[in-house]
Structure 1
């Protein structure tokens, strides 16, 4: 075992211990709403749940986080947590047409009935996790996911490729919801023989390679006009290091699946660009946003890009064998641990400022999916390499 791999393994052990002994218990005992259902969006840094509206993109993330809890070694009631989250999700967020609404109140009342593409992607993703984790719910989960997929194809399909953000179409189009839809259809492709999942994965991958990637730099743009050209002005030049890593991780997976060396090369270029241009060495963390010429657009550093840095690094290490990626994984894990040092164990801070201070605010539940998945991927690759 190389020194860098050994360092990564030790940090993996710290992250798993934190997740199993602190994070999973508090987000179930405090973060779950055992009276009304579902999960709270936030826990304050004193360890108390914060009441408020609940977004349609957060609950499926919590469902996913608990669906993989058993794989990470949590011996708590992870199946019950998945069932708890799923019951509220289907009762409060699912619209009569099978799509999922954007926002509900604490008791499940609809506050925004919009069926945003981003939220539909997370619905499909969470349902894949349910199908895998709870075999007795697999057919139900598949039926629900296919309903969402077919509604998107019928109502949102873009004539070139991909999907419109809303119905009727509105600008800008975005790469980010397509990234999460890509993740979702890859998850279903791994467990369901329906060829439509693979066809959609192929379509989104080709769209990303053809339209999302800035040809001169390999950077992934965020915003586009209705013809998939970069959006006008600075908006069309924004590139996020966290998404460089996240797209890189996904395209590495798809490149292996499809036998596409060009996708693998593009993915590694994204990952290397994110690492060399998008990491602040003083803080040891990936920053929020660059422009397509590598200029800094936002030098704050949220938590989630750190998790994507880890995922991209370990998969690149597995595929290429290059030890530099184990060093990247270890540095990414050290960066992530900076956010996890909170007065109440199992929580996190989200926004790391350029002056090396954190915004003092409640821990957002939306980060748990990112953290848990990064630890799971790190664990998988390190176990395979050891």
Structure 2
């Protein structure tokens, strides 16, 4: 089978790999589509995501959908040919976090396409992958693969909005209009936020944010923009940039909430600690997701407005071009790999 494999910073290859059949308790999936995530881009361009460095060749990808190809010995699951999405996380199930209902922060989680552990967890940008059966989700009736492939990033956005608390009727700021930031906008709109302001350094991402529900947008490099008048009840930092975090802390009202979603650069990052103290701000991290995956599939099947976020689709053989396009935020938002005909 063919797979998209990172060997180090700037070293991305489409290469042959032996297919791995399903073992007991596993389901094999013929992958049809995969979404390129910001973490995939970091692995390709920098050879690392935060503190997680590529130390061995690794198949990238964790936003994947396809069709059931086979079930492992003694394994129950959807019939061969069923269209499915794959929940990418395998938490340990026994730690304090797992038993306490916070499986998304399990320290022992195995996550598709992640270098957090060694050996690395191979990802989903391969024509055939095998995963535990409980990670398989048959698609709801009427949901096609091209929308379902957004389930994983939408789950991240939904978890961030859940971490923010009740957003109904609130004035919310989102810093960063990449695919995740725009999906946060869609989730905020669904959950009843009264005003959703989005900031970014580029116009095209802001246009996409407006198309999926932002009520106002602002260039982050234009401090005189009228959108900055007044304060926000909630801010979601989705850019992963220290400047975005600073904006969130500065612009949220006293007693307001800041959700840290974007992964910041490794090492120390300046924080307006005195502002957080004197205004009694709530700073809440948001990492991955858990049950939100099923919620995301349901919302996508109900027609949640997210289609403008997908801007490009490339065949697997053009993976390098796909990654380079995804890196250019002036022209691309969510970029997909088509593995069905590779």
What TM-score results when the alignment is normalised by the length of structure 1? 0.27
What TM-score results when the alignment is normalised by the length of structure 2? 0.30
Higher relative helix content: 1
Higher relative strand content: 2
